[in-house]
Structure 1
Amino acid sequence: MTATHPLTMEIQLVMLPVTDVDRAKEFYTRIGFHADHDASPFPDMRYVQLTPPGSACSIAIGRNITSAAPGSVEGMLVVVQDVQAAYEMLLSAGVEATPVKDEGWGLFTYFADPDGNRWAVQQLPVG
């Protein structure tokens, strides 16, 4: 049987490997992520889901939720309306972020979480 509608796929969750779940949760909530869920469904597991404001995709941090090495994620990207305001918010939250730079396909600032997972913050070009 053939589908009458094209298959849709939504990225809803990305795992970020961290060493200290409480430290990472504090970091992400400090920069505005909402803590949606924090549970230990099994004695050796902890699962914390956090969502950036306005995002349909969340991140998950925890204990025994991924075998990836802490700090190994590169290229996580969030898009904002005002990258300068995002940069200033990061700095005021005590996060080291790069000065805003025009990369030609948008304005960017970059930062990393306490484990070294690296993020890009982009303001899309106008027009």
Structure 2
Amino acid sequence: MEFRLELIPVPVSDVDRAKKFYVEKAGFTCDLDFSPGEEFRVVQLTPPGSACSIAIGIGVVDTAPGSVRGLHLVVPDIHEARAALVERGMEIGEVEDMSAPGKPTISYAWFSDPDGNTWTLQQLPS
């Protein structure tokens, strides 16, 4: 049996502002923007190369905007990924390398969407 995580709801206060951020700055693909009326709108966005998407919208989730913390985007080259995001106008922290004695180094860089939902770029050891 398989259990595949394929969609994570992310609460936002302004759907259009968040969609613009995720598409233009984060480089996500907009797979769907559907609204049958004013009470419901779902926008599905997928990071490049990912099998898992996020969903933002109206009536999608009832948690507070900005309450999602620590979503990880795993990348093969964190310096290249960070540079691409900075080039698109994203504010993102510097790359930090973390390691423990006898363990390989793992690198991180953090950013937030306009509502304060936080994301982490992560480069695992090869």
TM-score after normalising by structure 2: 0.91
Corresponding position of 2:22: 28
Amino acid corresponding to residue 40 of structure 2 in structure 1: M
Corresponding position of 1:46: 41
Partner of 1:11: 5
Unaligned runs of 5+ in 2: 100-104
Tell me the residue number matched to 2:102.
none
For residues 116 and 63 of structure 1, what CA distance do their matches in structure 2 show? 17
2-structure distance, mates of 1:41, 1:121:
34
Percent identical residues: 49
Question: Matches of 2:13 and 2:98 in 1, distance apart?
Answer: 32
CA distance in 1, matches of 2:33, 2:16: 10
Q: CA deviation at 1:88?
A: 1.1
TM-score of the superposed pair, with normalisation by structure 1: 0.90
- 1:52 deviates by 0.5
Following TM superposition, where does structure 1 have runs of at least 4 consecutive aligned residues deviating by more than 4 angstroms?
none
Query: Following the alignment from structure 2 to structure 1, what is the Cα–Cα distance between the partners of residues 98 and 40?
Result: 40
Superposition deviation, residue 41 in structure 1: 2.9
Structure with max Cα Rg: 1
Matched with 1:92 is 87
Q: How many residues align?
A: 120
Between the aligned partners of 1:123 and 1:40, the Cα distance in structure 2 is: 36
Structure 1, unaligned runs of 5 or more: 1-6
Q: Deviations over 1:4-44 (max 9, x none)?
A: xxx21000000000000000000000121000000013431
Q: Distance in 2 between matches of 1:41 and 1:14?
A: 21
Instruction: Look up the match of 1:4.
Output: none
Q: Secondary structure in 2 aligned to 1:41?
A: strand
Q: In the alignment, what sits opposite 1:82? A: 77
1:95 is displaced (CA, Å) by 1.4
